[in-house]
Amino acid sequence: MFYHVKELQYRAKPERPDPVYAKKLQEILGGQFGEISVAMQYLFQGWNTSRGLEKYRDLLMDTGTEELAHIEMLSTMIARLLDKAPVKDQEHAAKNPVIEAIMGGMNPQHAIVSGLGAMPVNSVGVPWNAGYIVASGNLLADFRANLNAESQGRLQAVRLYEMTEDRGVKDMLSWLIARDTAHQNQWMAAIAELEAQEGRVVPNTFPRELQKQEVAYAFMNLSAGEESSTGRWASGKSMDSMGVFQYVQHPVPFAKKPTIPPAPPSLHNTPPMLK
């Protein structure tokens, strides 16, 4: 079950209204790597974690629940940035031609749809959707997705930090940035623990003899130039210690040109061209 307390996890109070910045802040609430995404991602991963993996389930539930608190903080901050925002403030925020060109001023849905409140949308009004989340049932794959989500989320929070002079907003973002640091580190720790148990390639349960071993560690040069040949991925022992990297300078096709039969006439596709 969940239990809500009325206090925020951390302060979320700006110095003054700023509806244009409220629109920007929507990105780390309802964007692809926003707090709604990571909350749902961690909670569904936790709910889907089977017995015998209790510490990982608890890790996911603890973190997912914290992300709900971050949704609350951001929603509160956005509402306060929108609260009693006079038209002249909107006009002032749009005086910078770059900001005006990119942001286009206040999001009108903040007034029309949500009544000066936060919404589950990104910074350009695209609704949040569940396709953003990853919950595969394979913890190593999922934890790598979590590390990416926290990395992208922290990057966006840092960029938003640089876009405001409001000390109240910066204070809240500083907290969220620090928590993203903690979460990146915890996912790295969990990944390292699972890799030590399972190996590095996901999934580790598929029989190796069923994959085409001749290309399992080949790096194929499929663009002009050979700069990629100098990378760690092009020579030496593979990262899973099960093979040796091979640089393929001139890759060749392994199959013939495909021939696709035409669709039945009843589907009314474009008929084959006569030579």
pLDDT tens per residue across span 106-144:
888 888 888 899 999 999 999 999 999 999 999 999 999
Query: Do the annotations mark residue 70 as ligand-binding?
Result: yes
User: What CATH fold (topology level) applies to the domain 207-266?
Assistant: manganese catalase, domain 2, chain A (3.30.1530)
Per-residue three-class SS string for 50-75? CCCCHHHHHHHHHHHHHHHHHHHHHH
Question: How far is C-alpha 251 from the chain's CA centre?
Answer: 33
Edge-to-edge strand list for the sheet holding 244-248: 218-220, 244-248, 236-237
Does residue 223 have a known ligand-binding role? yes
* CATH classification code of 19-198: 1.20.1260.10
pLDDT of residue 273: 81
pTM: 0.90
What pLDDT does 104 receive? 54
- Say if residue 35 carries a ligand binding annotation: yes
15 annotated as a binding-site residue: no
Annotated binding residue 46: no
Residues of the chain with pLDDT under 70: 85-104, 274
Say if residue 221 carries a ligand binding annotation: yes
Residue 268 marked as a ligand binder: no
Confirm whether residue 58 is marked as ligand binding. yes
**Sign of the CA dihedral 192, 193, 194, 195?**
positive
pLDDT of residue 111: 83
Residue 236 φ then ψ, to 5°: 90, -175
What residue ranges do the domains of the chain occupy? 19-198, 207-266
Residue 275 and residue 273: Cα distance in Å, rounded?
Answer: 6
Give the model's pLDDT for residue 101.
47
Q: Is 48 annotated as a binding residue?
A: no
**C-alpha to C-alpha distance for 215 and 193, rounded to whole angstroms:** 28
Q: Which two tokens stand for residue 269?
A: 């596709």
